[in-house]
Structure 1
Amino acid sequence: MPSIVSRIVPVYLRVIGANRTFVSAEGARRHIRERSLRPRPYGPPRLLRSDVSVSVDHSSGWPIYTLTPRGTARGNVVYAHGGGWVNEIAPQHWTLAANIAALSGTTVTVPIYPLIPFGTAGEVVPAFAKLVLDNKSRYGEVCLAGDSAGGQIALSTAILLRDEHQVKLPRTVLISPALDLSLSNPEIERVQPTDPWLGQEGSHVLTAHWRGELPLSDPIVSPLFADMAGLGPLSIFCGTRDILNPDVRLLVDKARAAGVSIDYHEGSDLVHVYPLTPTPEGRTARAAIIDRLRVALSPTRAHLPRP
């Protein structure tokens, strides 16, 4: 049974109307218009961790932030933030990225990618792949991580790297990833009444922008349609009160059948992106994420303190 705090989270999300962008087409269109007119700040909070330094580079056309831990760092994690491809990076993303840097002893790269209606999967995913390749030259081993919409970007990037560059990543971490942007899995209807956050009708509006000229079945848009054979290890976290959960289960089965190493954490009765929530289950998931990335990038290192 979920903790008391986790049982409060769905109530809180419904009270604040967290799903208003996703449950209706008009709500999604209104949100896109608002974010186009009044973009939200994306910079990191002033107080992250004292043992992590932050720098930013604009030479590629996007702001690319780098979080560097104190002391010797090994490898790199490229983190793709979530937000329905329409919302900017949130403080919870920055906190997780900083903890990964400090507690995994690695640099973390956080791209501030263009959002809809301006950005598309066809532009963003190849740019993430190029960033990973550049970072491999600079840091050595590189892992990918992402949540929700960022989970789609991360897995699509891993697939593109395998297919076009013959690169197999040491680990990709997916937190409640969007996998099939058609949202046509019939099991979604069963989960929808329990999900206080996401909805199909508004999501269809968002994904119509994000896919651009590509079909929904293109793995750059919907990574669930890709062949999984030859991918590096995957760590996946998803709650059962999340309409993305049915597709996550399909991914787990498909990847295992293809011989991919899968580390799957399903949160019973937990909400979308539960590892980012201020709950006991969230803390446990964050510790697992940090541990998996630490081992992938520094397999012989002694264990570092947990967050």
Structure 2
Amino acid sequence: MVSVQAKLRMAALRASGQKRFYDNASALHHRLPRHQKPSMARPPRKIRRRVDVGQHEVNGFPCFTFRPRTEPASDLHVLHLHGGGYVEQVEKHHWTYAADLVARLGCAVTLPVYPLVPHHDHTATIPMVQAAHDGIEAERVVVSGDSAGGALALAIAQNLRAAGRPQPERLILYSPWLDVLLEDPVSELLDETDPMLGIAGLREAGRMYAEGTDPRDPLVSPIHADPAGLAPITLFIGTRDVLLPDCRRFRARARDAGTEVDYREYPGMFHNWLMQAIPEGVEAMNHVERLLRRRPVTTPSAPGRGSSPTPG
């Protein structure tokens, strides 16, 4: 059953016109300035009162790290890559998500303000988030990402594998955007009931992000990536999300490749519902907290960061 709070949130999304941003290419370009306000790229004062906030630059772009205010952070460090179709700036719910993780787990959370299209494309965005990851020095590193950020998390994991470097302890993907072309015909059908995303606008954002390369490049559209050898994956997706078909296909491919996948499909849920104050969001985040409280059992030959977790 979908909660009353979730139904009200979906109604509010429809009333707000959020989906109109992704109606088509012209609508997306017309509304871009309000989705890329410089003021959005800083944690709100309300968040700064809850956590200790550090800031540094990575490839010329700001990176914020939240830590507990009253006690040292644990040995867990979460790198979160925000969503928004590569065209939207960090939003309030992303800052809140990061602060909530700090409160729940006493960990550190880094949130890069990465370069956006149309001023930049994947050739700037992927290296920046990779450098943000590489700059983290912690015993336990988890990479999470919502929507476009989910694809960026998988790009980092692919780069690490290609370089023969240790994987993160886990990848946590919230409603990940896995194919910038959105080629699965089922997505067209879901467009009618998705209260937040629209395929035409997403494809335009994806076209700009992939500029200069094949949009089926696995780093750009990880639905085409080989999942073998990637970190254990937890993936959340709702059945009202146009991204659902690609998530189902990715789950099947990852399992066939022998990669551990904790797949969580929520009936009736919309895009990235986990970061909303609704019962289904709390339930999903409780699962994330339980996952991250478990210390992975490591093999004797590979202690410390990058050790192989024992499959669950």
TM-score with structure 2 setting the length: 0.89
**Would you say the 8 A contact 2:35–2:89 is kept in 1?**
no
**1:140 — aligned with what?**
139
**Which residue of structure 1 lines up, in the alignment, with residue 82 of structure 2?**
81
The alignment-based identity, stated in percent, is 34
Q: Distance in 1 between matches of 2:205 and 2:27?
A: 11
Give the number of aligned pairs.
296
* 1:131 pairs with 2:128: no
Contact map agreement 2:59 2:128 (CA 8 A) in 1: no
Distance 1:71 1:50, change over 3 A: farther
Deviation at 1:205, TM superposition (A): 1.2
Query: 1:152 corresponds to which letter in structure 2?
Result: A
Secondary structure of the structure 2 residue equivalent to 1:218: coil
Partner of 1:26: 26
Contact 1:239 1:267 in 2 (8 A): yes
Counterparts of 1:108-119 in structure 2 under 5 Å?
108-119=109-120
- Cα deviation, residue 97, structure 1: 0.7
Query: Does 1:280 pair with 2:279?
Result: yes
1:188-267 → structure 2 map (5 Å cutoff)? 188-267=187-266
Give me the whole-angstrom Cα distance separating, in 2, the residues matched to 1:169 and 1:59. Answer: 19
Inter-partner Cα distance in structure 1 for 2:38 and 2:48: 26
Specify the SS of the correspondent of 1:21: helix
Measured against aligned partners, the alpha-carbon deviations of 1:164-217 in whole angstroms (never above 9, x if no partner) come to 243222101100000011100111122111101111111111111111212111
Cα distance in 2 for residues equivalent to 1:31 and 1:168: 38
Partner of 1:17: 17
For structure 2, list consecutive stretches of 5 or more residues without a partner in the other structure. 299-312
Structure 1, unmatched stretches of 5+, are 300-307
Residue 204 of structure 1 aligns to a residue in which SS?
Answer: helix
Match of residue 159 from structure 1: 158
Q: SS where residue 294 of structure 2 aligns?
A: helix
**Residue type of the alignment partner of 2:81:** A
RMSD (Å), alpha carbons? 1.9
**Partner Cα distance (2:154, 2:16) in 1:** 30
Question: Aligned pair 1:97/2:98, yes or no?
Answer: yes
1:105 and 1:294 in contact (8 A); partners too: no
Please, what TM-score do these two structures have when normalized by structure 1?
A: 0.90
* SS of 1:253 mapped into structure 2: helix
Contact 1:126/1:160, CA 8 A, preserved across alignment: no
* Equivalent residue, structure 1, for 2:65: 66
Q: Secondary structure at the match of 1:208?
A: helix
The code of the aligned residue for 1:219 comes to: P
SS at match of 2:47: coil
Over 4 Å off, 4+ runs? 33-36, 296-299
What is the rounded CA distance, in whole Å, between the counterparts of 2:207 and 2:111 in structure 1?
25
